[in-house]
Amino acid sequence: MAYDKRYWDRATSFYTEWGLPWQALKDGYVPVIVELKKALGDLRGKQILDHGCGAGKITRPLKSLYGAEVLGVDPSDNMIQEARKADTDGRYELLKGDFSWPDNIFDGVMSNWVFVDIGSIEEMDTAVREIYRVLKQGGPFVMLVNNEEYIGKRTTTYQNGIPGKTYNPGDEIMVTYFKNGNESMEFKDYYWPTETYCSVMERAGFREVTSYVPKLNPRTIEEIKVLQSEGLFPDVDYQALVDENPTVIIVGKK
Ligand SMILES: C[S@@+](CC[C@H](N)C(=O)[O-])C[C@H]1O[C@@H](n2cnc3c(N)ncnc32)[C@H](O)[C@@H]1O
């Protein structure tokens, strides 16, 4: 399935504004940072690739709060323009086909809500092989995707798919994002079981591939506190976070 650039270009402003505070946890971003820290320790000065960075929502905090040297890449020029506007001295590059970087240069790679957007196994294989190639030996790759148990269930921020409908691997699945209670926008994703993402990672050579549904736990609360001490995410709704677990984290090691 060819990448639909027009689609993400159109969605840029909605998606950028949609960065509500507590959503960062519910949508799995904090657990991604926790995984990077678990594998790499202090992220200060670490070279991290944010693959499919969009408008840089997580690229920025990783740089400003954790001191990582993050490079954000995305095939949507609108997204890259927005990212650059919000972070004028940040590093953002437009992704055109294969990666242009040499082997073994990144300490870690994260890819948040990107593989749900890829409609063929071949395209996923190509992307993950490239990610593997540019990672240093032992480096972590953290992928954030949908929890398939949540298909058709409305969460505070989005609904992934139609209730009661059965989806087969690779099927298109419409996701409705809600903003400010009543505004919404539909995005087209693809349904893949967690197992598919794990197999893609293993085929590319990743070791110790594991997946889990992130839940609010003491480590996560600690992360929230760090972010809050920096003035971010003041309104975290802990109960909603405990009740809703719509994401899956997949981690592998080169
Ligand atoms: C749901 S957005 C997530 C953006 C960002 N990671 C975030 O969490 O805010 C998905 C992004 O993936 C990008 N994308 C889609 N297919 C891609 C691919 N094959 N490689 C890299 N990025 C891709 C889109 O352009 C879009 O910006």
Model confidence pLDDT, tens digit, residues 173-191: 999 887 665 677 888 999 9
Identify the CATH number of the domain defined by range 5-148+193-253: 3.40.50.150
Is the distance from the beta carbon of residue 27 to the nearest atom of ligand 1 less than 6 Å? no
CA separation (Å) from 123 to 25, 118, 128, 190? 28, 7, 9, 13
Ligand 1 centroid to 19 CA: how many Å?
A: 15
Least-confidence region, from 36-50, 182-196, 200-214 = 182-196
**pLDDT higher than 90, residue 198:** yes
Contacts of 179 (CB under 8 A, 6+ apart): 14, 17, 18, 20, 185
Banded model confidence at residue 36, pLDDT cuts 50, 70, 90: very high
Identify the helix (H) or strand (E) that includes residue 175: strand 172-179
Separation CA 204–CA 127 (nearest Å): 9
CB 20 within 8 A of CB 27: no
pLDDT of 157 over the 60 cut: yes
Beta bridge partners of 57: none
Q: With a 6 A CB cut-off, is 187 part of the ligand 1 pocket?
A: no
Confidence of residue 238 (pLDDT cuts 50, 70, 90): low
CA 207 to ligand 1 center in whole angstroms: 24
- State the DSSP string of 92-121: EEE--SS--SPSS-BSEEEEES-GGG---H
How many whole angstroms separate alpha carbon 123 and alpha carbon 191?
A: 14
Residue 229: per-residue pLDDT:
72
Task: Express each pLDDT in 41-99 by its tens digit.
Answer: 999 999 999 999 999 988 998 898 889 999 999 999 999 999 999 999 999 999 998 89
Closest ligand 1 atom to 19 CA: 9
32 lines ligand 1 (CB under 6 A): no
Q: Is any atom of ligand 1 closer than 6 Å to the C-beta of 61?
A: no
158-160 sheet: strands from edge to edge: 158-160, 172-179, 183-190
Residue 123 has pLDDT above 90, yes or no: yes
Helices (H), the chain: 5-17, 23-26, 29-40, 59-64, 77-86, 121-134, 194-204, 218-229, 238-243
Residue 195: the pLDDT is 97
Q: Which of 2-6, 11-15, 158-162, 202-206 has the lowest mean pLDDT?
A: 11-15
* Range of lowest pLDDT (68-82, 138-152, 219-233, 235-249): 219-233
Name residues whose C-beta falls within 8 Å of residue 250's C-beta, 6 or more positions apart in sequence. 142, 143, 144, 145, 194, 197, 198, 201, 209, 210, 211
* pLDDT averaged over every residue in the chain: 84
